[in-house]
Chain A
Amino acid sequence: MRYTFKIGEELVKVAPRSLADELILAIGEQDCRVVFDHGREGRCTLTLDGRSYESWVARDGDDIYLKMAGHYFKVTAIDPRAAAAGASAGAGAISAPMPGVVVEVLVAEGDIVVEGDKLLTIESMKLQSTVRAACDGVVGRIHVSEGSEFNKDDVLVEIESDD
């Protein structure tokens, strides 16, 4: 079992190849000799094929935030079970394009909708916008209600395809 990590939009598999005195990680297609020191208070030192990288690291659940070489990164550990479930949850799941607040919910669970139907009014950055159905189907779970705050990529509404 290899672990999948998301960096930007890219999914990369990472797995130890050797846990012996020398740690070798397969990162994508590349095998790297790694020495890692989880220093104090989130200060980490990594030696990768002889080159040294300092970083600050903090975790929040599956999200790993780090600052390395003056740049910030967010890496997400993909739960193998969630990833598999997500794949089958279907193209009907509509997620938030950006963080915001729900102004109005315009449909109810079980409603029949066609592509383009209004589902929600949301407000982000003082701008109200409408979330529309991306396909024909039946409204499945609505994960938000009026006034609820959401983050980017949160699933708002699920549309179950009726074919």
Chain B
Amino acid sequence: MSAVRSFKKVLVANRGEIAMRILRTLKDLGLQSAVLYHRQEIESPALSFADEAFEVFGDTPVSSYLDIPQIVELCKKHGVDAVHPGYGFLAENAAFVRALDEAGVCFIGPRPEVMNLMGDKIGSRDFVAERGFPIAPSVIDDGDEDKLIASIIEIGFPVLIKASAGGGGKGMQIVREADGLRDIVATAKVEAQRYFGDPRVYAERYIESPRHIEVQVLGDEHGNCVHLWERECSIQRRFQKVIEETPSPALTPELRKDICESAVGIAKATNYTGAGTIEFIFAPNGDYYFLEMNTRIQVEHPITEMVTGVDLVAEQVRIAMGHPLSYSQEEIKQVGHAIECRICAEIPDDDFAPAAGKVLMLRPPVGEGMRFDSGSYEGQKVGTAFDSMIAKLIVHAEDRDAAIARAGEALEQFVLLGVETNSDYLGRLLRHPAFIAGETNTGFIKDHAADLGPDALSADLQTAVLATAALSDRQFVAAMDEVPYPYRLMKEWRN
């Protein structure tokens, strides 16, 4: 079990920024690296950054990265010892892990059993609840209405009632007090019958204005498991994180200790190996409940690296090699404050519709406490083929205010032209008084939508923009340059 394996060549079965991120650590570790690519990404910097690059084929670019037999075959053909899956694609695919096992290739990540267990929403909740960790209280209707009512009152208000058989928002309602509960339940059952042919209802504690708080954990094959503190990822749109930070402004030292220890407890219970994240829903009153576990490296892992100084990818690789963790829990300190902003090709002012285009200019921010993770490059065509995230801008400073200020500076410095991004919008989020006050929750973007619209721009600025654009336009400038002397000097003289 704990035999140390050595890797010579590691394949990154991913693309974009995470491929670049992983390749960087593989270089640091002195390992040979390889990366996958689809024909559309022939100009990606990952291709030249890695020692080798293997083309994957498929009907669409995405499907080629999901083609397990093809990737396993490539590993065999090119003598790959281990595969780092990054996030997304095959990162949480147990079948992939098994296929690699069979081929004698090491998967850098948890064992497939753990992946399956924690990858199942209901199963993982039950597993966690059984071991005494908090999950949101809920009750399932077994037909006994009195018992149901009593259980609902026990859960506490507000409570969310919906049809057991239903999905989506149909027949879903939030109840805030016991008065009239019986009538509401009765009506809900009738509606459930009408819509879904099953009168049973399901009730769950409804958490208003919750925060999304998650804890990074690392476990090795030697039974060690540590946390690397929390990340708050409450600023979301379309259930996608936009800004993440650590530490969370919501946690007291006691709560932090508590929630982090819960996370380690859960991870330990699964004998977790590798890097993982336990996600919690955090209520305004300080209660928190297990939401799910992600058995992979997360998009937002850099903020943890910034405050702890731990290279999470390096730890993943070491763990996969069978080494014990490089750090004890006591050695992992949370120093300063880190914020990550996800730069996405989208139009925030058009309900975050995806944007397409070609990256014409990319200028990463450079400065102390600034990190820029990106797989983008000038000339890249950004379309609907992949995820809309093009880069991550990560900052680290001594405290939250300084980190917010630094994030603002980094956004100011950062330039990406050719594709519309949420960069302006991220600036507006960072400047919002509620964000500055740490008053964040998963509804933040909706709740503050009115304040987060585009800044009113002065007429002078628009004029300056037009002047700059005109004087940068080939045709306009060519027409101007073509006017010969002395006519240029006569202006629009008319006799």
Which residue numbers of A lie inside 8 Å of B, CB to CB? 1, 3, 5, 7, 12, 14, 16-21, 24-25, 27-28, 30, 32, 34, 36, 38, 42, 44, 46, 48, 51, 53, 55-60, 62, 64-75, 77, 98-101, 124-125, 149, 151-152
Contact = CB atoms under 8 A, between A and B. Distances in A.
A72 B424 CA distance: 7
Give the bracket for the number of chain B residues in contact with chain A: 35 or more
Interface string B468-482: 111111111001100
A124 B424 CA distance: 23
A69 to B, nearest CB: 6
Contacts of A21: 489
Given A12-B466, A17-B492, A67-B417, A98 B472 contact: no
Contacts of B457: 71
B466 A44 contact: no
Contacts of A98: 350, 353-354
Given A42-B417, A57-B468, A59-B360, 11 more contacts: A32-B463, A46-B464, A51-B460, A57-B417, A58-B417, A58-B418, A59-B474, A66-B468, A73-B465, A99-B384, A149-B384
A124 B385 CA distance: 11
Given A7-B465, A60-B418, A18 B491 contact: yes
Contacts of B473: 3, 5, 59, 62, 64, 77
Nearest to B381: A149
A32 B356 contact: no
B103 interface: no
A16 B350 CA distance: 34
A30 B468 CA distance: 15
Q: Which 8 A-B pairs have the closest CB atoms?
A: A58-B360, A75-B469, A65-B417, A19-B488, A58-B417, A99-B356, A58-B361, A18-B491
B464 to A, nearest CB: 4
B254 interface: no
Nearest to A152: B356
Given A20-B488, A65-B417, A99-B355, A38 B464 contact: no
A30 B480 contact: no
Contacts of B489: 19-21
Which of A21, A24, A68 counts the most chain B CB atoms within 10 A? Answer: A68
A101 B383 CA distance: 10
